[in-house]
């Protein structure tokens, strides 16, 4: 069992300039502390503060990959619907319409794949420098 900690009943008031507060908040947000009071308490009593180091290029890659994934999912869904429609076609005119639609979807898919390749190339160039 955890040792029961005494309740904190003493309050300290502290005034900061907006710049000081912004700096403090930025450091707190970069740490693993859930509350600002925990961060300040650890700093005051010289306890270790674990900070997070984020890889900005990886964050950008993840954000871009998420956007591209949702677009690719939409294209794939449209393509699947078109294939299902192909199986139910009874007239040649409908078949021609499907072929034209399929070509548009194919172009969109290839464009998105090119975007993915380009973005991966840019990330690789950044890492290799």
**pLDDT tens, residue by residue, 9-52:** 888 888 999 999 999 999 888 888 888 988 998 988 888 887 76
Whether residue 117 has pLDDT greater than 60: yes
Say if residues 120 and 113 touch (Cβ distance below 8 Å). Answer: no
pLDDT at 19: 95
- Pairwise pLDDT comparison (126 vs 77), residue with the higher score: 77
In angstroms, the CA 37 to CA 44 distance is 10
Helix (H) or strand (E) holding 12: none
Cα–Cα distance between 97 and 95 in angstroms, integer? 5
Q: pLDDT of 24-36, one tens digit each?
A: 999 888 888 888 9
Place of tokens 């270790």: 48
- Decide if 98 contacts 86 (C-beta within 8 A): yes
Tokens representing residue 29 in the block: 């947000």
Q: What is the DSSP string of 28-41?
A: HHTBS-SSHHHHHH
Mind listing the pLDDT tens digit for each residue in 88-112?
A: 766 677 777 777 787 788 888 888 8
């Amino acid at each position: 069992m955890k040792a029961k900690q005494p309740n904190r009943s003493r309050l300290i008031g502290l005034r900061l300039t907006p710049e000081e507060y912004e700096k403090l908040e930025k450091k707190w947000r970069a740490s693993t502390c859930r509350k600002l009071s925990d961060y300040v308490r650890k700093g005051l009593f010289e306890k270790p503060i674990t900070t997070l180091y984020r890889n900005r290029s990886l964050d950008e890659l993840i954000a871009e990959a998420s956007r591209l994934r949702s677009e690719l999912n939409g294209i794939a869904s449209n393509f699947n619907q078109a294939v299902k429609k192909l199986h139910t076609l009874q007239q040649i005119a409908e078949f021609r319409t499907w072929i034209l639609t399929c070509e548009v979807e194919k172009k969109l898919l290839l464009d998105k794949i090119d975007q993915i390749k380009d973005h991966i190339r840019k990330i690789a160039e950044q890492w290799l420098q």
